[in-house]
A and B are shown apart, each in its own frame.
Chain A
């Protein structure tokens, strides 16, 4: 199991959050230093504008004392950023898993359903993998969190639509014109939001023209958004050329009226035109909507789209929570079954080493005449024999780990019996450092356990 220690926009103001900034370049060293601590075996750090979270597992894998691991994480973060400890939250075991899954699925984000967090979690995982601070626990946990988050995005509308007015405006523009390259956007007046819309349109490939009452200000804005400026007198002609018109002036009256648009429409030969009126009082006469091919969205219309999107996302959050709940339960079951792993590994190692010793003795003695191919075949045969012998015990041990009823022997009883029968106590060797980390995929993990190669002879201890 894992622990999560960190802070987010929900628990700490920006003044506190900015204290815990870790630069990307120094992060691998920070993580490596963390796993040098006696309690910590694995660690990764999710760092975004709104949260910094340390996800860690103990040195003894699934059997670690998680409270100690959490304590070590708090200490490590407090050493890095003194005074931060009171603001840190801690999630341990199943709660930590649920928290991580919710974070990856953007259910804990400031903007519910925002898509960036999943990428940031993936990046954190990748960075930690490269730093060598991810072991068997996190290798199993992070992919599950990522899969659950993907399911949430596919099966619910949690990520649907846009949640900012400029993004909604540009989305609507695309619904009318598709590809924006080759289209002209006219910006009438200035204003932060209008500038943001213009920038997004420019990024989308549109040509941006700015018209202002003061040409110098229009030129400044045009330079800022990568467009060209025209004087106010060019407004009517600009309306003819523009496919998208963004207005944001402080005029107390309409600056674009029905007659202007009607005249421009004739010159445009009926081509669609989209007006985005961000001004209050409004700049564009609402009557233009009655003209065929003229679309008008004012700030209220756009805000309503944002509000509808947020409402949809909030409604979908319940379905998303259910998906996360099921994924976390699946993880819990898997983690329970994993408790049998140390016994299985010990058993396999004991059998493998015994057979290997016998085989190598025979190959040095009576069978020394055997060619290399036959030796390899013998080795393969013994490997298969171990697999067959351990198939049922492996299943029984895993079932015992999952079965919490009193009807059958418990995992502890079975493990004790196996330990007693095979005299594990005589040959115990602790191992759970990151360098013994298991491969990522389940198959690879199983394969590595089934292998008779010397490295698999490492014996895991049960604490």
Chain B
């Protein structure tokens, strides 16, 4: 079993790396009108399968539920992002977004190895609630990662079209602005209830802690900031037509806050994770 986990991990890393390279090569291709190679998304899907195999086998070995530890939760978030991207790419013409999703998945797969595997249940809070808390956050992070990537690509594409520079060169490889905007919005809509649940349960856990400390408070604060930013993006879109560039900036700000929360978890957990 340990061998399977290790092999799946290393092959997952290789497959994600090759997929990321192919996606970037696709962006740099000179014949903009040429047919896209099917290998990049296929390899990303294969990487996802290997990734899932690694998470499942490694969690079985550790006797830890995949969503019960930060180690696997981080890894699982990237897996969700890969799955969501593969499901949406054809429908929303998001092929170019793979150049962002594949490296993110790779980073999270590898990065999760450096995070301790200790179970959060040790903190003395309800184990069931904790599992739901982590599951909701994992799913939400996966969706918000793509939303953040779509928002970033939106800004790139918008800047290119607005400044009218290099319009003749890299056209038609980045997704259309409307597709990126729609993707960002839909993913925010899908991830927001999960984020809300995560924030509420997180607040409950914070109350249960006898001495939360400064880092814990800052983490909660960033969690609330994420929620407020993304809620504002959604509400303003509905009420004041807050879309396009402004929505992209708001989404990216929210995702950055979310990543800071994750970073604080990582720092708190310290290194020492293994396969």
Binding site for B on A (CB under 8 A): 115, 153-157, 159-161, 171-172, 174-179, 266, 268-272, 289, 292-293, 295, 297, 301, 304-306, 308-309, 312, 316
Contact = CB atoms under 8 A, between A and B. Distances in A.
A156 to B, nearest CB: 6
A257 B187 CA distance: 36
B32 interface: yes
Contact of B161 (A159, A160, A176, A308): A176
A308 B34 contact: no
Nearest to B245: A292
Interface in B12-36: 30-34
A125 B240 CA distance: 60
B179 A178 contact: yes
A174 B167 contact: no
B172 A271 contact: no
Given A156-B30, A161-B168, A272-B244, A289 B162 contact: yes
B162 A161 contact: no
Nearest to B176: A178
Contacts of A268: 241
Contacts of B30: 154-157, 160, 316
Nearest to A297: B164
Interface string B173-186: 01111110100000
A175 B153 CA distance: 12
Contacts of A153: 31, 34
A295 B244 contact: no
A402 to B, nearest CB: 34
Interface of chain B: mostly helix, strand, loop or mixed: loop
A350 B92 CA distance: 65
Contacts, number: 91
Contacts of B162: 289, 295
B117 interface: no
Contact of B167 (A178, A179, A270, A305): A305
A171 B172 contact: yes
Interface in B131-174: 157, 161-162, 164, 167-169, 171-172, 174
Nearest to B238: A269
Contact of B245 (A160, A271, A293, A305): A293
Nearest to B239: A269
The 3 closest A-B pairs by CB, nearest first: A270-B241, A269-B241, A178-B176
Given A171-B171, A175-B157, A292-B246, A271 B31 contact: no
B244 A270 contact: yes
B93 interface: yes
B242 interface: yes
Contacts of A272: 177-178, 181, 244
14 contacts: A153-B31, A154-B34, A156-B30, A159-B31, A174-B172, A174-B176, A177-B178, A178-B178, A178-B179, A179-B93, A271-B243, A293-B245, A305-B164, A312-B169
Contact of A160 (B164, B169, B240, B242): B169
Nearest to B168: A308
B36 to A, nearest CB: 12
Given A156-B30, A157-B31, A316-B30, A293 B244 contact: yes
Contacts of B33: 115, 159-160
Contacts of A177: 176-178
A367 B193 CA distance: 88
A417 to B, nearest CB: 51
Between A155, A156, A161, A309, the greatest number of chain B beta carbons within 10 A of the residue's beta carbon is seen for A161
Q: How large is the interface on B (under 10, 10 to 19, 20 to 34, 35 or more residues)?
A: 20 to 34
A304 B169 CA distance: 12
Interface string B230-270: 00000000001111111000000000000000000000000
A171 B168 CA distance: 10
A176 B243 contact: no
Nearest to A319: B30
B171 A176 contact: no
B113 to A, nearest CB: 38
Contacts of B176: 174-178
A270 B238 CA distance: 11
Contacts of B240: 269-270
A51 B205 CA distance: 78
Contacts of B244: 270, 272, 292-293
Given A160-B168, A178-B176, A292-B246, 17 more contacts: A153-B34, A154-B31, A157-B30, A159-B31, A160-B31, A161-B171, A172-B167, A175-B172, A175-B174, A176-B178, A177-B178, A269-B241, A270-B240, A271-B241, A271-B243, A272-B178, A293-B243
Contacts of A266: 241
B271 to A, nearest CB: 44
Given A266-B241, A269-B241, A295-B162, A176 B177 contact: yes
Nearest to A307: B168
Contacts of B175: 178
B168 A309 contact: yes
Nearest to B173: A175
Contacts of B164: 297, 301, 304-305
Interface string B32-68: 1110000000000000000000000000000000000
Nearest to B247: A270
Given A175-B176, A178-B93, A270 B32 contact: no
B139 to A, nearest CB: 27
Nearest to B170: A160
A213 B96 CA distance: 43
Between B240, B244, B246, the greatest number of chain A beta carbons within 10 A of the residue's beta carbon is seen for B244
A175 B176 CA distance: 5
Contacts of A115: 33
A397 to B, nearest CB: 41
Between A171, A297, A301, the greatest number of chain B beta carbons within 10 A of the residue's beta carbon is seen for A171
Contact of A308 (B93, B167, B241): B167
A161 B241 contact: no
A345 to B, nearest CB: 40
Nearest to B174: A175
Contacts of B167: 172, 305, 308
B168 A270 contact: no
B169 to A, nearest CB: 7
A329 B32 CA distance: 28
Contact of A175 (B171, B243, B245): B171
A306 B171 CA distance: 13
B16 to A, nearest CB: 26
